[in-house]
Amino acid sequence: MSVFDRLKTDCASEWAAYVDHDFVRGMADGSLPLDAFRTYLKQDYLFLIHFSRAYALAIYKSQTLGDMRRGMAGLKTILEGEMELHVELCAKWGIARKELETVAEESETLAYTRFVLESGLRGDLLDLQVALAPCILGYGEIGARHRGVVPEGTDGAPAYARWFAEYASDDYQNAARDFCDWMDQTASAYLTEARYPVLRRIFSEASRLEADFWQMGFKNLG
């Protein structure tokens, strides 16, 4: 069993609350208010800036050149893949890249990103990977599950279909698979049963913060 599968099994309720959140269901059936998605997407741009810093920290915490390369691959997935999706979607609504960078940070964005950075600063590469895992692996699961299912006809449907397509893409799915293998490889060197409860707490907390991040999208709806 992979470390990811073990953590997911042990944190089943937090995981389900994240990947089956109403926000995700609303994107999948097209009913999510477009304003909620815009709020989410703008905050997610800030989120990804901090997650890029977290992958840079993973490079710093690496013990081998192989780990460094894998950290760099994660960084590239964000900086050259995901963030461009946000810029592309926001451009359609007249929101420029510069404006995205100056959006005020919501407390949910702050809480989640700083939790991950703090987990990595305080711990080793494995602590940081476990804190990062719900992000990359949860979106991989969501993308694969909802690939091509958004019905047409609502304001948000084209954006939601584009969003799911990005996370269902071969590039993203391969990045998620590589991350899972990388975490298993680190665990084979550093995981002991004595430290597992700490890792489980990190994974549980990060999954809970992911669910809060979806919920944040519904804030400020009229």
Asked if 14 touches ligand NSP (CB under 6 A), the answer is no
Q: Cα(70)–Cα(221) distance, rounded to whole angstroms?
A: 39
**Among candidate residues 112, 119, 118, 134, the one with its CA nearest the CA of residue 179:** 134
* Binding piece for ligand NSP, criterion CB under 6 A, among 15-23, 40-48, 95-103, 119-127: 40-48
* Site membership for ligand NSP, residue 23 (CB under 6 A): no
Q: Which of 11, 90, 135, 180 is catalytic?
A: 135
Cα–Cα distance, 169 to 147 (Å, whole number): 9
- Of the candidates 14, 30, 42, 44, which one interacts with ligand NSP according to CB under 6 A? 44
**Catalytic residue flag (residue 135):** yes
Q: In the chain, what are the helix, strand and coil shares in percent, each to the nearest 5?
A: 80, 0, 20
Q: Tell me how long the chain is.
A: 222
**Contact by Cβ (8 Å): 9, 204:** no
DSSP per-residue letters across 50-109: HHHHHHHHHHHH-SSHHHHHHHHHHHHIIIIIIHHHHHHHHHHTT--HHHHHTPPPPHHH
Size of the site for ligand NSP (CB under 6 A): 9
* Structure tokens that stand for 132 in this block: 């990062």
Q: Tell me, yes or no, if 11 is annotated catalytic.
A: no
Closer to ligand NSP by Cβ: residue 106 or 210? 210
- Given the complex with ligand NSP, which of 67 and 210 has the nearer CB atom? 210
Minimum CB distance to ligand NSP, residue 189 (Å): 25
Write each residue from 77 to 116 as x if it is in contact with ligand NSP (CB under 6 A), else as -, in one continuous string: -----x----------------------------------
User: C-beta of 3: minimal distance to ligand NSP in Å?
Assistant: 18
Residues in touch with ligand NSP (CB under 6 A): 44, 47-48, 82, 135-136, 139, 210, 213
Catalytic machinery residues = 135, 210
